[in-house]
Structure 1
Amino acid sequence: MDAEYYKHKILEMLDNNEFYCEIAENNDKKTIQKVKRLLKDHQTSSDITTKEADFLTDFDFRESVFYGLPKIHKSKTITNAIKMQNNAYITCIKPDDLKFRPIVGGPNAPTQRLSHLMDILLKPLCSEVKSYVRDDLDFLRYLPDKVNQDAKLVTMDVTNLYTNITTDLGINALKYWINKYPQNINSRFSREFILEASSLVLKNNTFSFNGKHYLQLKGTAMGTKMAPTYATLTLGYLEEKMYEKARRQFNHQTAQNIKNGWKRYLDDCFIIWNESDANLTVFLDIVNNLDPNINFTLDESAICIPFLDVLISKCGENITTDMYYKPTDTHQYLHFSSCHPGHTKRAIPYNLARRVCTIVSDNEKRNERLHELKASLIKQCYPVGIIDDGIKKALALNRENLINPPTGRKTIFKQVLKGGLKVT
């Protein structure tokens, strides 16, 4: 990518005074002092132990940096270039319609450890959000095998979710969930501490770009630990209002269908719509009036529609699922000659094949996707024997068990234990 073009596009984002402002100097030392004062205030109430306070503040913090991830799959210029050039590497120097996802990279930012603690404390509340989908595997569990013949497949997407959540809205959302489900919060931590700490993280997102320092004025940083959980709870809070508005606007059955059928992964939403087009327009109007800063776009189809990595298709009453790849996906998997450990490379064919066997519901289509996968891996110099062995092992698995694995799996979260924060 042309460096000057990239810099120009990022500065365009940072020049938006609604979201960012330039500051005179690096504020990280002031921010860490704010964190220390917060922890000192709450040590007396046993929210924080001395060891925890030391862990949250005594480290080599560094200023965050701002960068943009190009949304190449949403650029028609790049998509057309891929089709025209038909190559793994394309020439498209300055696409005029390319947009960037703003990332604040700060693994050692002064608030990052506090943000991590907030993520641990707040994450258990996500299970109370009716629409919550953890990943595409979780989504597959909610899909029915059959639907009404006249039903439509509908997806909605929130425009720039992270940067459009105002702090007032987000904190009100956290208050709502904490007050409604206090049993989901570790009893050692007070409501006041969690809200104050979350507010501190949200209001002190500073970073640098091109030698200048900035403060984010609106939204949360895509890069801070608590951001996904915070966004999930905020939209879940708005969805509670949505269910109530739907109950008043539609009949009982329609309102229940919305409440039970609306599923969401962060800013991506899905529902099987059994009502009229007029009612769908009304519903879109409802969701777009939940908050003045949160806007939804809509896609619908009576045949097929993508959601996450899944292509959902409807044929009559039957629902089937297939792999979904963005138009810009060139299937450039890790090359077998790379310097990664041997066991990592040997596991790739199996894990990719297992994913195909999980998502693709039709056996004929599954075999077609596995054949395509084999071809892609051969291009990356994977030995045919390793590929075939991985596919064979994946095919031996029962799809029902893949979608519904045994309960009691080891949690991937770090846990806050009674008596102290477990740090690993």
Structure 2
Amino acid sequence: LFNRYIDDVFMTWNKSENELKKIIENANTWHPNIKLEYKISKSLPFLDVLLTNINGTLSASVYHKPAAEPYVVPFISDHPRHVFENIVQTSRRRAVKYSSTFQLFNDERRYIKSTFLYNGYPSSFIDKTFRKFFSDYISSRSFLPFLHNEAQFIQMRIALSGQPSRQQSEVEMRIATLTTDNEHLIEESDKKSKKSPFKRIRNQTNFKINL
């Protein structure tokens, strides 16, 4: 397994740790100004995901830096109401997508709620936003704003993972726009090419008549 984002790399290695260190140390001799820093462990963060090797199976959860304070936009700040809802839903969406098990998701759910309570968000507002987020996956009779079982969690995780990101949507929109513009240019070109032979024939006819 190998993943890279700009200058951050995550990989798994099935051979000995010493062999991997030799490869990295050799790579550090290639250029005097480029040095690779590395950490080898059974549990490592990659960007904002914490990956853990549990008996050969990778487990994923949301990564929080140890020195990071539980701070988000305070509820008393002068923002429209939908901004606070989006902040809560973004945290919840990340928890669903990054948590590999239902238990890890519930741990992150509790962390999210305590963080927002710490920043002045009313408990009723948090629960309402949670319930709105889970409306397609929990029973309409349920008053509790969370998923009930592993099956519901997996269903929601698959659904969210299949949704394109905002950047992907913007790229697709640009491609669609360019395609439409190109089709329009092709149509205009075809129209001109169809008109031009008639003009040439007409000019040739006039020339012959004048003779």
The TM tier, using the shorter chain, reads 0.5 to 0.7
Query: Deviations along 1:293-351, whole A, 9 cap, x unmatched?
Result: 211111011x3111111110111122110111111111111001101122111221111
Q: Which amino acid aligns with 2:110?
A: H
Residue 402 of structure 1 corresponds to 160
Quote the Cα distance in structure 2 between the aligned partners of 1:284 and 1:364.
36
Q: 1:277 and 1:379, CA in 2 relative to 1: closer, same or farther beyond 3 A?
A: closer
When residues 381 and 412 of structure 1 are mapped into structure 2, their CA distance, relative to the original with a 3 A threshold, is farther
Give the SS at the match of 1:300.
coil
Larger proportion of strand = 1
Matched residue, 2:112: 373
Please give the alpha-carbon distance, in whole angstroms, between the structure 2 residues aligned to 1:339 and 1:286: 54
1:295 to 35, 45, 58: 35
**2:122 aligned to which of 383, 386, 393:** 383
Q: Unpaired runs of 5+ in structure 1?
A: 1-260, 420-424
Q: Distance in 1 between matches of 2:106 and 2:32?
A: 47
The amino acid that maps onto 1:275 is: K
How many aligned residue pairs are there?
A: 158
Shift of 1:291: 2.8
Q: How big is the shift at 1:406?
A: 5.2
Name the structure 1 match of 2:63: 324
Q: Displacement, 1:364?
A: 1.3
More helix by share: 2
Aligned to 1:33: none
Q: Secondary structure at the match of 2:53?
A: strand
1:353 CA displacement: 1.0
Rate the CA distance shift 1:337–1:298 in 2: closer, same or farther, 3 A.
same
> Cα deviations across residues 261-295 of structure 1 (Å, max 9, x unaligned)?
33211121110011112210222024323433211
When normalised by structure 1's length, the TM-score is: 0.34
For 1:20-419, what aligned pairs fall within 5 Å after superposition?
A: 261-301=1-41, 303-395=42-134, 396=137, 398-405=156-163, 409-411=169-171
**Structure 2 CA distance, aligned partners of 1:283 and 1:299?**
14
Q: Relative to structure 1, is the Cα distance of residues 412 and 267 closer, same or farther in structure 2, using a 3 angstrom cutoff?
A: farther
* C-alpha RMSD of the superposition: 2.7
Question: What's the offset of the Cα at 1:369?
Answer: 1.3
Larger Rg: 2
Greater RCO (CA < 8 Å, at least 6 residues apart): 1
TM-score normalised per structure 2: 0.65
The sequence identity of aligned pairs, in percent, is: 27
Q: Which runs of 5+ in 2 are unaligned?
A: 138-154, 182-211
d(CA) in 1 for partners of 2:178 and 2:30?
Answer: 37
CA distance in 2 between partners of 1:363 and 1:312 (Å):
16
Q: Deviations over 1:208-229 (max 9, x none)?
A: xxxxxxxxxxxxxxxxxxxxxx
1:151-174, Cα deviation, whole Å (9 max, x unpaired): xxxxxxxxxxxxxxxxxxxxxxxx
Q: CA–CA distance in 2 between the matches of 1:343 and 1:406?
A: 21
**Cα displacement (A) at 1:371:** 1.1
